[in-house]
């Protein structure tokens, strides 16, 4: 049997990075299992055990390796010799799957290996990379995926204890961690940076189909400031803290709308402690829990509420995790989600596999969810169809198959 298993590993050898964030480790372990089932040999590089992993790596690369695969730059800029990227030295393609906007990772992307490939969960992010990082070997779109456990029973709808669940941080509380000292930022042209940031936040909140970087560039151009792409990319990266303010504005309003509707809300994540409504009797605030626990709690929830983290043409794993655990998922829209679940229908229209709403419908969101919960037969049917769709197209296993089909098999 061992010999048979070894013979199946004929599609190439891969290096996979884990060991820093539990959320990303969940993704990688699921992808690893599927890639191995497809015939790849894999080595896990555990960054939490760096010395041992380097020893293992030194042996592993004595035979040809097709690619290294990571999330959010882990190992992307690895150097053993100062100034020399390890993957360029080894001649190994490094595939970097981003879970956030590229403007969060300018330093890592500036130092990308020559044979670096960067995949994004939003098609607008991919366009951003193509514009500002033309030196990358390749870019691509890879939607988020959810955790699916084949063969595991799904808890019946009527036995689920939670009405509505939301899991996510209120990102406003992290602004201080990434906000630069504006007085120390200097560009080729001088302008009032605080005025720009304040006005862009106000503008993008008022026009929620607009991305944060679009809002920044429009503001600059409207004030007669024309920057070369290299400097514009730096400005966007320096000031991207405003994205957290925009995300927080709508995230809090969405969750608050559900909380104030009287629905029982189970809330997970950091940063919600100071919200005025957090101590309401129908709000059950659990604070921050692990990514593993979030998925477990979804299995006992009827409705999973999601927000898109200002991804205007992409996805969030919260959506697919909810669907795969058998819950009815309710999320704000993105172009990709409308295309995928509504066939290009108008924003906010209901579909048979999940519920999408537009950001100008927040005030009625709580009542809409209440109506769904009262029509139990219909809600269960939507949840069931959503799960079937997600199993078919949006599990992490499916993402591994996409990587195999569209990228690894052609390297």
Residues 251 and 312 in one domain: yes
Question: What pLDDT is recorded for position 345?
Answer: 46
What pLDDT sits at residue 9?
A: 66
- Given this model, what pLDDT does residue 176 score? 86
Total tally of structural domains belonging to the chain? 3
Residues 89 and 187 in one domain: no
Please tell me whether residues 225 and 255 are part of one structural domain.
no
Last residue of a domain, one of 200, 220, 238: 238
pLDDT tens per residue across span 329-345: 999 999 999 999 875 44
> Could you report the per-residue pLDDT of 47-77, keeping only the tens digit for each?
999 999 999 999 999 999 999 999 999 999 9
* Interval 219-231: pLDDT, tens: 999 999 999 999 9
Q: List the alpha helices (DSSP H) in 112-263.
A: 123-132, 175-178, 193-206, 212-222, 229-238, 241-259
Residue 151 domain-assigned (yes or no): no
Q: What is the arrangement of strands in the sheet containing 355-357, beginning at the earlier edge strand?
A: 283-285, 265-268, 162-167, 301-306, 328-332, 355-357
Mean pLDDT of the chain: 93
Strands (E), 322-408: 328-332, 355-357
Query: What pLDDT score was predicted for residue 126?
Result: 98
Q: Which residues pair with 13 in a beta bridge?
A: 41
164 and 204 co-located in one domain: no
- In the predicted model, is pLDDT for residue 190 greater than 80? yes
Looking from the CA of 31 toward its CB, the CA atoms found within 13 Å total 29
Instruction: Looking at the structure, tell me whether residues 307 and 163 fall in a common domain.
Output: yes
**Is the Cα dihedral 36, 38, 40, 41 positive or negative?**
positive
Q: Is residue 221 part of a domain?
A: yes
Residue 253 lies in a domain: yes
Element containing residue 33 per DSSP (H, E): helix 22-37
At residue 145 the predicted structure's pLDDT band, cuts being 50, 70 and 90, is: very high
Same domain, 168 and 128: no
- Looking at the fold, whether 257 and 386 belong to one and the same domain comes out as yes
Q: 22-37 and 291-298 are packed helices; what angle lies between their axes, rounded to 10 degrees?
A: 80
Q: What is the CATH number of the domain that holds 364?
A: 3.40.50.2000
Token duo for residue 168:
């996510």
Q: How far apart are CA 149 and CA 155, in angstroms?
A: 13
Residue 30 within a domain: yes
User: Which two three-digit tokens encode residue 59?
Assistant: 């042996």
DSSP of 158-187: GG--EEEEEE---GGGGHHHH---GGG---
- H-type alpha helices, 223-364: 229-238, 241-259, 291-298, 317-324, 335-342
Q: Got the DSSP string for 45-65?
A: EEGGGHHHHHHHHHHHTTS--
Residues 12 and 64 occupy one common structural domain: yes
Domain match, 221 and 81 both: no
Percentage, residues of the chain above pLDDT 90: 90
In a domain, 267, yes or no: yes
Residues 192 and 221 in one domain: yes
pLDDT at 207 over 50: yes
115's tokens:
């044979």
Out of 238, 256, 276, pick the residue that ends a domain.
238
pLDDT at residue 363 in the model: 85
Tokens of 396: 């992490």
* Of 325, 313, 302, the residue nearest 376 (C-alpha): 302
pLDDT of residue 308 exceeding 80: yes
94 φ, ψ to 5°? -110, 115
Query: pTM for the full model?
Result: 0.93
Place of tokens 């969810």: 369
pLDDT at 172: 85
Which pLDDT tens digit goes with each residue over 236-274?
999 999 999 999 999 999 999 999 999 999 999 999 999
Helix (H) or strand (E) holding 157: none
Assess whether 116 and 201 both reside in one domain.
no
Contact between 396 and 148 (Cβ < 8 Å): yes
- Give yes or no for a contact between 250 and 172, defined as CB atoms under 8 angstroms apart: no
150 lies in some domain: no
Using pLDDT thresholds of 50, 70 and 90, give the confidence band for residue 295.
Answer: very high
For residues 144 and 318, what is the distance between their CA atoms, to the nearest angstrom? Answer: 9
Within this chain, do residues 249 and 386 fall inside the same structural domain, yes or no? yes
Closest C-alpha among 187, 126, 78 to residue 311: 126
> Which of residues 222, 238, 254 is at a domain's end?
238
Q: Is 351 a domain residue? A: yes
10-59 pLDDT, tens digit per residue, is 899 999 999 998 889 999 999 999 999 999 999 999 999 999 999 999 99
166 and 267 in contact (C-beta within 8 Å)? yes
* pLDDT at residue 347, as a whole number: 42
Q: For residue 8, name the pLDDT band (cuts at 50, 70, 90).
A: low
Looking at the domain assignment, is residue 152 inside a domain?
no
> Lowest mean pLDDT: which of 198-207, 347-356, 368-377?
347-356
Domain hosting 188: range is 181-238
How confident is the model at residue 224, as a pLDDT?
98
Report the CATH number at residue 84: 3.40.50
């Amino acid at each position: 049997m061992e010999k048979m298993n070894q013979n199946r590993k004929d599609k190439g050898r891969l290096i996979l990075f884990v060991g820093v964030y539990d959320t990303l480790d969940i993704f990688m372990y699921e992808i690893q299992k599927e890639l191995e089932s497809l015939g790849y040999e894999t080595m896990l590089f555990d960054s939490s055990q760096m010395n041992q992993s380097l020893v293992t790596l030194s042996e592993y690369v004595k035979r040809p390796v097709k690619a290294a695969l990571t999330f959010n730059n882990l190992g992307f800029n690895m150097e053993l010799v100062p100034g020399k990227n390890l993957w360029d030295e080894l001649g190994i393609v490094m595939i970097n799957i981003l879970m956030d906007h590229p403007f969060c990772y300018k330093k890592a992307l500036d130092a990308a290996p020559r044979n670096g490939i960067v995949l994004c969960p939003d098609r607008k992010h991919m366009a951003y990379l193509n514009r500002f990082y033309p030196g990358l070997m390749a870019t691509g779109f890879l939607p988020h995926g959810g955790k699916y456990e084949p063969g595991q029973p799904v808890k019946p709808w009527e036995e689920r204890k939670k009405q509505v669940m939301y899991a996510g941080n209120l990102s406003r509380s992290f602004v201080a961690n990434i906000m630069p000292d504006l007085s120390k930022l200097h560009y080729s042209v001088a302008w009032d940076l605080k005025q720009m940031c304040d006005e862009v936040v106000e503008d993008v909140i008022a026009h929620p189909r607009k991305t944060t970087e679009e809002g920044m560039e429009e503001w600059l151009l409207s004030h007669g400031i024309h920057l070369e792409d290299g400097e514009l990319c730096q400005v966007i990266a320096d000031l991207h803290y405003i994205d957290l303010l925009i995300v927080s504005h709508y995230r809090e309003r969405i969750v608050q709308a559900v909380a104030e509707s009287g629905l029982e809300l189970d809330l997970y994540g950091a940063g919600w402690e100071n919200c005025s409504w957090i101590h309401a009797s129908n709000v059950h605030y659990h604070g921050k829990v692990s990514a593993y626990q979030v998925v477990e709690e979804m299995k006992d929830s009827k409705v999973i509420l999601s927000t898109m983290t200002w991804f205007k043409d992409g996805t969030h794993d919260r959506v697919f995790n909810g669907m795969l655990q058998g819950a009815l998922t309710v999320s704000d829209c993105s172009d990709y989600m409308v295309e995928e679940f509504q066939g290009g229908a108008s924003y906010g229209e209901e579909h048979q596999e999940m519920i999408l709403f537009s950001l100008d419908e927040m005030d009625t969101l709580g009542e809409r969810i209440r109506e769904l919960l009262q029509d139990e037969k219909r809600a269960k049917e939507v949840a069931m169809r959503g799960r079937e769709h997600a199993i078919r197209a949006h599990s992490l296993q499916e993402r591994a198959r996409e990587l195999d089909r569209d990228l690894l098999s052609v390297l």
